[in-house]
Amino acid sequence: MTDTISGESQRAASIAAKQAINLNNKQGTDSPQVNAPAMVKGEDSSVELSSKLKSEIAAVSFDINKVNQIKQSIEEGNYPLDNRKMAESFIPLEKLL
């Protein structure tokens, strides 16, 4: 199973930090130091949504039963796809290029 994107980026950052630390340990005192990425703790990265956005999110509704039905149809391979309609939907995108 593959990791999520966030899991991959965390692993890459961890590997880079370990490599930088290993490089620091191998270098003598006369050579320039390579600093490992600093880990900052305690920074607040929260986001506050505006009241307008909160009300719009609350107003959005969908039929969870229909969503689950479509998911199940896709998993079973029974969801009808119109290849022509899909191809035609790419035309406006292609014109932008």
Chain center to CA of 53: 22
The DSSP symbol for 42 reads: S
Name which residue leads in pLDDT, 65 or 8: 65
Which pLDDT value is given to residue 35?
A: 52
Which pLDDT value is given to residue 67?
A: 92
Mean pLDDT of 3-23: 55
Name which residue leads in pLDDT, 96 or 41: 96
* pLDDT tens digits along 71-80: 999 999 998 8
Spatial separation of the C-alpha atoms in residues 24 and 20, rounded to whole Å: 6
The one-letter amino acid at 50 = S
Q: What percent of the chain has pLDDT over 70?
A: 57
Domain locations in the chain as residue ranges: 5-37+60-96
